[in-house]
Amino acid sequence: MLADDLGSDFYLEDIENGLIKNMLKEFYSAGKESRSRVAAMLQVGFLTVRYRQLKEAMVKRNAVMDSNLISDGIMANLIHDRGEMDNASFNIYMTLNQEMQGNVNGMPWNGFPDLIVYLDIDPEHEIESIQSRGREMEDIRKDPELVNYYHSVNKAYKDWYEGFHQATVLKIDRETYDFVANDNDRNAVLDMVEQKLVELGCLTQNEFNAIRAKREGVKNVF
């Protein structure tokens, strides 16, 4: 949605990637036991794929990524805190994550995105959104214990938001803005994000005005 509006390249989480696909299914296959068994290597897999995407994205103007190395670190920390990744694996993972972030320092990024958009959502509504993706491995009807796991993910990101100050973060309240189903909410969110890009010098005011005029002149295209 945002990348289309900006005319930018975008990078989505690639769960079909060979490094990830089978391990992700295994991760969800048997609750805590399977998460503990494959969590460390799965997180390294996600990190590797994300880093490849980042190396491409960082040389393109206003590229959009649906996640980043920071988010990968949040998930690894959560899994470790839940007792599903041992200390040695966690320490190796975080060292690798930090080395990767450091490797993009000044190329041209400072190791962090120009703008992070944080979608704040009620835990129960987050579960509804996850279930709507239709992925069998994420189905809480097959594994009710996933509810607790999803709630812990939601809390981990809320806690991260409260304590993160190293880069600009724009918080979008998903309880207020249904940008998936409501055109007005979608336009409002796009305006907020793009205006913030103007403030950060990533987009000119004239570019923003042209993008908004084009978007508001086309209805029901999403």
Helix axes 87-103, 69-81, angle to 10 degrees: 170
Cα separation, 177 vs 186, whole angstroms: 7
State how far Cα 190 lies from the chain centre.
17
Tracing tokens 């509804």 back to the chain, one arrives at 128
Nearest Cα neighbor of 209 from 217, 150, 110 is 217
Pairing of strands 64-65, 10-11: parallel
SS3 at position 17:
coil
Question: Exposure pattern of 181-218 as b/e (b: 16+ CB <10 Å)?
Answer: eeeebbbebbbebbebbeeeeebeeebbeebbeebeee
> What's the Rg (C-alpha) of the chain?
18
Residues 6+ apart with CB under 8 A from 32: 82, 84, 145
Residues labelled catalytic: 66
